[in-house]
Structure 1
Amino acid sequence: MRWVTFDCFGTLVDWRHGIATAIDLILPGQGERLLGAYGRHELDVQTESPSLRYREVLAESLRRACAETGTALRPDDASVLAATLPYWPVFPEVRDELATLRAAGWRLALLTNCDRDLIAETRRRLETPFDAVVTAEDAGAYKPDDAHFRVFRESFEPERWVHVAQSYTHDMVPAHRLGIRRVWINRLAERPADPAVTQTELPDLRGLADTVAA
């Protein structure tokens, strides 16, 4: 069976826009300023507490970002990211490309650093059905740990498997380590620390069906 697995947030859903906009709801005008600080803390929180629910990872990362920048955060506002996550926007080309992959006979799966309930809300916005989902709850860890990939491999034994993701650290590195074919969706025009890790690169999902077929 042919599988394409995806990271969700950052790859299919505009994670940066979602976080910045959510922060603006509680701290008007601060979303873009706090976005960078948030990104610096999330990986640390996930590494320190791999069993923590993702909604708590979101809240704790926001608390640390505010503390780092000297921004006052009301205690009950720390939940804003989890509350708005189901409404974060899907990148404009994603729905068509997912439908094209499915029509070409690929099975689709999500390997996501998210809770089951939160990803269930996001899946309805992607519109194309997914055949499998592996969450951080299922894996018992957060990427870049190998657990998501091992759970998927053991559960579905894919004959052909391509992993598609935006994060070099969370997805490309472990997929490379495990010998999984991969496509880096380099939406931020980053320079990889090691080009061999990313294997194949696209600026977004347009043309992905042709790329994975090749």
Structure 2
Amino acid sequence: MPLKNTPRPLWLTFDCYGTLIQWDEGLQEAVRELLARKGAAGTPPEELIAVYDRHEHALEQTPPHRSFREVSGEGLQRTLAELGLPESPGDAGLLAGRIGAMPPFPEVVGVLRTLKAAGHRLAIVSNTDDDIIAGNVAQLGGLIDRVITAQQAGAYKPDRRLFDHAHAQLGVQPAEVVHICASPHLDHAAARDIGFRCIWVDRGTGRRLLPDYHPDATVGDLRGVVDLFATLGW
């Protein structure tokens, strides 16, 4: 076990969407509604989501830095144009407006409570805006100590500047953190480049590991983190 004989972390940092919050489920629901509005209910939501993801991630890495609301709106606009679907005035805010209401996975609040009771300090590091994530954090039982966003750092994952900013804000070195995430293409690149310890939450969504990085541990959901920490004496 790679984490064995490493020091107990001062902070646990979490990716938010897909790790703590039901991102895929919420996004598919919003996209189904969007397609139905456009008379394209027969289009698989996964098709639109794949195109949207490509545009969103490209825009996030294109200077200058813009808010997630702007990135999301333009990404959706480009997606609709590429798929030949009509654009409507309310489209731009649809996805961003739904994100804050997306709920946590069923086990998340209980696990966070257990980790907090064990003395861990908990932070979120997320590719979003402060006002968007506030709705999600409000559903996490007041258990999160810090929330660090792309808006604050002026950079989106996988750019390491977001994690460098997070470590500076938390007052820790990378070796004093364990990061817990479900997004290999965003978070694992930073873990590889910076060298912080990383646990992958593989919820069976089909996401694949980077070819040149393997996480320090893999769990099926957040309950696996508690079990893993018990074996490590953390």
Pick the aligned partner of 2:123 from 109, 125, 148: 109
Q: For 1:127-206, what aligned pairs fall within 5 Å after superposition?
A: 127-158=141-172, 160-187=176-203, 188-194=205-211, 196-206=213-223
Look up the match of 1:2: 10
CA distance in 1, matches of 2:85, 2:229: 44
Q: Per the alignment, in what secondary structure is the counterpart of residue 65 of structure 2?
A: coil
Amino acid at match of 2:209: P
CA distance in 2, matches of 1:61, 1:104: 41
Identical aligned residues as a percent: 38
Does the CA-based 8 Å contact 2:183-2:207 persist in structure 1? no
Amino acid at match of 2:81: A
Range with greater deviation from structure 2 (35-44 or 150-159): 150-159
Q: Which runs of 5+ in 1 are unaligned?
A: none
Pick the aligned partner of 1:26 from 9, 18, 34: 34
Offset of residue 113 of structure 1: 0.6
CA distance in 1, matches of 2:219, 2:55: 27
Task: Flag the 1:122–1:107 CA change in 2: closer, same or farther, 3 A.
Answer: same
Amino acid at match of 1:7: D
Offset of residue 62 of structure 1: 1.3
Look up the match of 2:6: none
Q: Per the alignment, in what secondary structure is the counterpart of residue 184 of structure 1?
A: strand
Does the CA-based 8 Å contact 2:179-2:197 persist in structure 1? yes
Q: Per the alignment, in what secondary structure is the counterpart of residue 183 of structure 1?
A: strand
Does the CA-based 8 Å contact 2:198-2:215 persist in structure 1? yes
Q: Deviations over 1:17-63 (max 9, x none)?
A: 21221122232135343122212221101011451101111111211
The aligned length equals 214
Does the CA-based 8 Å contact 1:3-1:108 persist in structure 2? yes
Look up the match of 1:45: 59
Q: Which has the larger radius of gyration?
A: 2
Range with greater deviation from structure 2 (39-48 or 18-27): 18-27
Range with greater deviation from structure 2 (198-207 or 178-187): 198-207
Q: For 1:56-95, what aligned pairs fall within 5 Å after superposition?
A: 56-95=70-109
Q: Deviations over 1:55-78 (max 9, x none)?
A: 111111211222222222213322
Larger helix proportion of the pair: 1
Range with greater deviation from structure 2 (80-89 or 22-31): 22-31
Amino acid at match of 2:87: L
Does the CA-based 8 Å contact 2:188-2:210 persist in structure 1? no
Superposition CA RMSD, Å: 1.9
Offset of residue 129 of structure 1: 2.0
Does the CA-based 8 Å contact 1:50-1:142 persist in structure 2? no
Offset of residue 212 of structure 1: 4.2
Range with greater deviation from structure 2 (117-126 or 69-78): 69-78
Q: Which runs of 5+ in 2 are unaligned?
A: 1-8
CA distance in 2, matches of 1:129, 1:157: 19
CA distance in 1, matches of 2:64, 2:188: 19
Q: Per the alignment, in what secondary structure is the counterpart of residue 37 of structure 1?
A: helix
